[in-house]
Structure 1
Amino acid sequence: MSNVFKVEIINPEKSFLSKEDVVEVVVPAFEGDMGILKDHISIISFLKPGLVKVIGTTSGDETYYVEDGIIEFKNNCLSILTSNIFDIKKIDKNKVRDILAEAEKESQNQEISDEAKYLVDHKIEVLKSLTLN
Structure 2
Amino acid sequence: MSEEFKIEIVNPEKSFLSKEDVTEVVVPAFEGEMGILKDHISIISFLKPGIIKIFSKSGEDNYYVEDGIVEFKNNNLSVLTSSIFNIKDIDKDKISELLTQAEENSKNSDITDQNKYLVDQKIDVLKTLN
TM-score bracket, shorter-length normalisation: over 0.9
State the AA in 1 paired with 2:68: G
Cα distance in structure 1, aligned partners of 2:29 and 2:5: 19
Distance 1:35 1:125 in 2: 20
Q: Which amino acid aligns with 1:40?
A: H
Post-superposition offset of 1:91: 1.4
* TM-score, length-scaled by structure 2: 0.99
- Does the residue aligned with 1:111 lie in a helix, a strand or coil? coil
Which runs of 5 or more structure 2 residues have no equivalent in the other structure?
none
Partner Cα separation in structure 2 for residue 12 and residue 97 of structure 1: 24
RMSD of the alignment, in Å? 0.5
In the alignment, which residue of structure 2 is the partner of 1:30? 30
- Structure 1 gaps, min length 5: none
- In 1, Cα distance between equivalents of 2:88 and 2:97: 18
How many residue pairs end up in the alignment? 130
Partner residue in 1 for 2:5: 5
Deviation at 1:28, TM superposition (A): 0.1
For residue 96 of structure 1, give the secondary structure of its aligned residue in structure 2. helix
- Structure 1 residues 15-70: Cα deviation after superposition (integer angstroms, max 9, x where no partner): 1110000000000000000000000000000000000000001x100000000000
TM alignment of 1:63-74, pairs within 5 A: 63-74=62-73
Aligned to 1:60: 59
If the length of structure 1 is used for normalisation, what is the TM-score? 0.96
SS at match of 1:18: strand
